[in-house]
Structure 1
Amino acid sequence: MKSILALFALLLNLPAAAAQLTIDLDHTSRTWQTADLLKHPQAQTVQIVDDVSYKRDMTYRAVPLAVLLPGLNPASHLQAVALDGFAAELSAAPLLEKTGARAWLAVEDPAHPWPALAQGKPSAGPFYLVWTQPETGHISPEQWPFQVSRIKQLQTVAERFPALLPDPKLAANDPINQGFALFQKNCLACHRLNGAGDAQVGPDLNIPYNPTEYFGGDFLKRYIRDPQSLRHWPQAKMPAFAASVLPDNELDMLVEYLQHMAGRKHQP
């Protein structure tokens, strides 16, 4: 047993290896190697203030993500798939912006590996989607996927997973429909609902029970704001959603969507 643990510790401390990232768009597909991205003509050093994953300022060698998405329509939809099963659903428009909040693909250099995310854990590499000036674009923590292995263009969430849809009789601007949009942005990267979704990290949020059915009072909102304040354990992965990225009115709409879906259970 000791020898297995020692081998595991050794593997965690090995230097980062070169990797590859596949970007599949409807009209083109390309696989990038670490070395190619590091020497990309638009690669540069970027400073990230209060990095979402490392909880401190970080410096990366990165490429503007927009240049890796040639010909992509801003109305398109993408998914960034991580090595651990995290699947971030991403609207294309923010990724293509060249001012304000700007998306970058940070590339881990095997010669200069990034630090571990926590003791006993790997780094955020080999590829990490980071943002400069995220506060100007209302960027959620779930829009910072790390350990990315693939980015692919897909149909919208509503088209792929009808089991997530609220009652079609609701008006388009109903708060519940707005909550559905917030659910896609903030929750679907880790969670499924009614068995629908691609994520493999967190529990299903409707089957067998919806969190609005077992969190009393305002505890669900408190949990979303700061999960560790209600249930604390070392391996917890859910991030805190501060009011700066999920204002109170949006949090209310998100919870309204979940309450609505508690009455629309579909067995997967």
Structure 2
Amino acid sequence: MKTLLFLAALLLGLPLQAAQLVLDLGNGSRTWQTRELLQLPQARTITVPDDVSYKRDMQYRAVPLAVLLAGIKDSDHLQAVALDGFAAELPAAPLMNTQGAKAWLAIEDPAQPWPPLASGKPSAGPFYLVWTHPEIGHISPEQWPFQVASIKRLAAVAERFPALLPDPALAANDPINQGFALFQKNCLACHRLNGAGDAQFGPDLNIPYSPTEYFGAEFLTRYIRDPQSLRQWPQAKMPGFSTAVLPDAELQMLVDYLRHMAGRKTNP
């Protein structure tokens, strides 16, 4: 109910109320209120050049995410869930960095609300995972979840969703297994495959058909690079993946994984 009221306030332009962020890190759940986060001594005003969601330079009041992840190890796996069902799968190690690419939890102050993401859209608040120097860590746009409601520690994707796994006979360094890792990083936040995954955002990428079965190779690549170049509609949400984010060799491995999984369909 609180989530629905918050979204209604954003859409109707009503004054924002303080929000809450739930952290479930395996050692008990902790709920942080907006005011508590803004008053942490580690809170800073940061500048994010060319913000992924706003497509321009932005300033935020933010806390280094590592400050909130007490007890988390680099080998752990986290999931950030947004109000709209976007579920970003996040290896913990990059989130714990204090040098190079650094993760921050940006906090929207109700007294100074952020701009809408687009006309008629809400802002990226109340909480937004942003990065400084993301290029150093090869951070994907899918690792910038906005409107975050909760962050929790979970088992790794392969353990939770065996239906996503490639043929176990493949070598660990096989390009298809590398494609599986890229799928987790770039696709699983929005899409399921074989019915497996937590996202409630985009279509399943294998059931009933894989995009490799109805797109020619050239057009599938073009679609991933720039979705609007093939299908244009006002409510489209899929971002394009530039060569800076997904180099050609990685894109090929991702497509090879999808093609491989088209032969490993399972009933959801």
Q: Are 2:107 and 1:110 equivalent residues in the alignment?
A: no
Paired amino acid for 2:262: A
For 1:168, the equivalent position in structure 2 comes to 168
Report how far residue 16 of structure 1 moved: 2.0
For 1:249, the equivalent position in structure 2 comes to 249
Provide the rounded CA distance (Å) in 1 between the counterparts of 2:148 and 2:237: 16
Return the alpha-carbon distance in structure 2 between the equivalents of residues 217 and 77 of structure 1.
Answer: 33
Deviation at 1:186, TM superposition (A): 0.2
Q: Deviations over 1:38-83 (max 9, x none)?
A: 1111000000000000000000000000000012110000000000
Q: TM-score, normalised by structure 2?
A: 0.96
Partner of 1:61: 61
Work out whether residues 12 and 122 of structure 1, in 8 Å CA contact, stay in contact via their aligned partners in 2.
Answer: no
Q: Which residue of 1 aligns with 2:219?
A: 219
1:110-149 maps to which residues of 2 (within 5 A)? 110-149=110-149
Distance 1:11 1:237, change over 3 A: closer
| One-letter amino acid matched to 2:78 | L
Question: Which residue is 2:26 aligned to?
Answer: 26
Matches within 5 A, 1:183-202: 183-202=183-202
| Partners of 1:10 and 1:122 in 2: CA distance | 5
Secondary structure of 2:103's aligned partner: strand
Distance 1:253 1:81 in 2: 27
Partner of 2:210: 210
Question: SS at the partner of 1:94?
Answer: helix
1:36 maps onto 2:36 in alignment: yes
* 8 Å contact from structure 2 (residues 62, 104) kept in 1: yes
Secondary structure of 1:31's aligned partner: strand
Asked whether the equivalents of residues 9 and 120 of structure 1 are also in contact (C-alpha less than 8 Å), the reply is no
Partner Cα distance (1:42, 1:237) in 2 = 34
When residues 10 and 185 of structure 1 are mapped into structure 2, their CA distance, relative to the original with a 3 A threshold, is: closer
Deviations 1:214-251 (A, max 9, x none): 00131111111111111111110001111111111100
Partners in 2 of 1:229 and 1:103 — Cα distance? 31
The alpha-carbon distance between structure 1 residues 219 and 180, as it changes in their structure 2 partners (threshold 3 A), is same
SS in 2 for 1:188: coil
The SS at the match of 2:217 is coil
1:170-192 CA-partner distances (Å, limit 9, x unpaired): 00000000000000000000000
The alignment partner of 1:218 has SS state of helix
- For 2:135, the aligned partner's letter is E
Structure 1 stretches of 4+ with a deviation exceeding 6 A read none
- Taking only aligned residues, the RMSD between alpha carbons, in angstroms, comes to 1.1
Counterpart of 1:91? Answer: 91
What one-letter code is carried by the residue in structure 2 that aligns with 1:39?
Q
Cα distance in structure 1, aligned partners of 2:217 and 2:31: 49
| Number of matched pairs | 261
What residue in structure 2 maps to residue 4 of structure 1? none
Give the deviation of 1:11 after TM superposition.
4.8
Unaligned runs of 5+ in 1: 1-7
Identity over the aligned pairs, expressed in percent? 77
Aligned residue number for residue 178 of structure 1: 178
